[in-house]
Amino acid sequence: MTNKQEESQNKEEGYEVDKKVISGLIKKALKEVEGIYAVKRGLWGEGIKIEYLQEGIGLSLQLIIKEGNAIPQLVEET
C-alpha cells in the first residue's frame, strides 16, 4: 500500500452539506410532527438559522403551531 492510500484510510471522512438541503430535511421532519403548522419566515427568507460549529451543526428556528396544540421543547447537549 502506498503512503497516500494509508493516509486516506486513516483520515476521518466528512461531507459538507448545503444549507438548503439541511433546511429541506428539517421541514420534511417537521411535517411529520402533529400540531406544527409551519416554520416562521423572516424578512429575508427562511426562518431557519444554521451555524456550523466544531461540535456539529447548530439550529435555530421558530415554529407556528396550530391553535390548541402544545409542542414540548426538547434541548439536547453533547
Structural domain includes residue 2: no
User: Whole-angstrom Cα distance, residue 22 to residue 19?
Assistant: 5
- Please name which of 31, 77, 27, 35 lies closest in space to residue 56, comparing C-alpha atoms: 77
Beta bridge partners of 64: 38
Contact criterion met (CB below 8 Å) for 38 and 64: yes
Structural domain includes residue 57: yes
Structural domain includes residue 75: no
Give the count of domains, the chain. 1
The set of cell numbers assigned to 56 is 456539529
The set of cell numbers assigned to 11 is 483520515
Residue pLDDT tens, the chain, 78 long:
565 555 555 555 566 778 888 888 888 888 888 888 888 887 777 678 888 888 888 888 888 888 777 766 665 554
Structural domain includes residue 9: no
Structural domain range at position 26? 16-65
Structural domain includes residue 71: no
The pLDDT, as a whole number, for residue 68 is 76
